[in-house]
Amino acid sequence: MAINLSREIVHSLEREKIKEIGNTNFYLCYQCGNCSAGCPCAEEMDILPHRAVRLAQLGQFSRLIESKAIWVCAACITCSVRCPRGVDIAGFMEACRQIVLRTRKVDHLSPVELDAQLLKELPQIALINNFRKFTG
């Protein structure tokens, strides 16, 4: 896929937003791939964590924001503790989710549409945790 590296794109507003919400400087990443290697959810992702970080460095936020990866992330922090550059990738992922939730105002998951049987069975620790990640 062609990548547009115009000045406006690379310096877009989202880059400051991600840094601020995720409280991490993703420009420190040197693409070692450690984060992706240990990610328990990598298999289900369309873009691996280290690639997601690279896309952000290149200002390709629209691809990031459209990705499935940011919603498959389980916020387990494995990537962040293993990053040799101290990038908090878990925080970065959260920032990407937040940008979608805040700007599009559409939740990733609608609690009312969940299966009634499942809702009864799931402990509240799973539900609250999930809704805090996937709803705005």
Partner 1 sequence: MEISYYPGCSLKTSAINFERTALSTLEELGIYALELPRWNCCGVMFSQSADNLMLQLAPARVIMEARETGRKRLLTLCSMCYNTLKRSLLFFKRNGEKLKKINAFLKLEERDFSAEGVEVIHLLTLLSELDTSNFKMKIKKIKSNLKVASYYGCLLTRPREIALDGVENPQIMEKLLEIAGFQTVNYPFKTDCCASFQVVNRRNVVKKQIRKIVTSAVRNGAEIFALSCPLCEYNLDSVQQELAQEDETFTPIPVLYISQLLSLALGQDPKLNDFSLHRIDPRPLFKEKGLL
Residues that bind ligand SF4 (CB under 6 A): 29-35, 39-41, 49-50, 53, 73-79, 83-85, 87, 89-90, 93
Task: State in angstroms the smallest separation of the CB of 6 from partner 1.
Answer: 28
Rounded CA gap, 29 and 63, in Å? 19
Interacting partner of 49 out of ligand SF4, partner 1, none (Cβ under 5 to 8 A depending on kind): ligand SF4
Burial of 99 (0-12, 13-18, 19+ CB in 10 A): buried
User: By CB under 8 A, what part of segment 19-58 binds partner 1?
Assistant: 20-23, 40-41, 43-44
Task: State in angstroms the smallest separation of the CB of 45 from ligand SF4.
Answer: 8
Handedness of CA 103, 66, 50, 53 (dihedral sign): negative
Handedness of CA 95, 135, 71, 66 (dihedral sign): negative
- Report whether 113 contacts 104 (CB < 8 A): no
Task: State in angstroms the smallest separation of the CB of 62 from partner 1.
Answer: 21
Q: Three-state DSSP class for 78?
A: helix
What value, to the nearest 5°, has the Cα angle with vertex 40 and ends 39 and 41?
Answer: 90
User: By CB under 8 A, what part of segment 74-93 binds partner 1?
Assistant: 74-78, 80-81, 88, 90-91
Interacting partner of 87 out of ligand SF4, partner 1, none (Cβ under 5 to 8 A depending on kind): ligand SF4
Residues that bind partner 1 in the complex, under the rule CB under 8 A: 20-23, 40-41, 43-44, 72, 74-78, 80-81, 88, 90-91, 94-95, 98, 109, 114, 118, 121-130, 132-134
